[in-house]
Amino acid sequence: MTGQPQAQIEGVEFGQLSVTGTMNAKGEINGDWQTTIGSAGTFVLFPHAAGEQTDDVQRAEQFHTARFNFGAIEIDKEQITEIAENIRREFPSVIVTEVAGTEQARYLEDFKQLQFTVDRAEIIKIFAQKPDGSGANQVISIEFGPQVNTAMTQGRTRRGYSASLRR
């Protein structure tokens, strides 16, 4: 197989892709890939092996995702801490990530103690997740920045979990 980039990114060099491989008796394809700019590696492709089919229809678990875009806003450390504290009422640990030159993720307790060395962060993220008791996680993710100010929640709907976002 061969391939080429579908889009170019300014300042990034792309090369033509060449892939060769062989299929074994199990239907797996093993091979090598390389590009015209010197990148190379190996790969393995394998077929999805479905289990025994039953007459019962198996439905995939349904997740509910809600996303809200706040548009342009201004928010300070106190307000970020308040939002994170509200999330912690439902989630055992909350992580706050601050990007101001470098990206640094901290648990909420450490973030509250942080003394900022800059007046404005480039991006602030608040993230929390917890197991829902059946092998999946409920998730909340909030991001504040110059281009995007969004909140997203996700959880199972089968057990009555749902996601909702309010201003």
pLDDT for res 57: 58
26 phi/psi in degrees, rounded to 5: -85, -5
Tokens of 146: 């110059």
Q: What is the mean pLDDT of the chain?
A: 80
Rg of the chain (C-alpha set)? 23
pLDDT tens across 27-66, in order? 788 888 888 888 788 878 877 655 555 555 556 667 788 8
Q: For residue 140, give the nearest of 99, 79, 96, 77 by alpha carbon.
A: 96
Dist CA 135 CA 140 (whole Å): 17
pLDDT for res 129: 92
pLDDT tens across 69-94, in order? 888 888 888 999 999 999 999 898 99
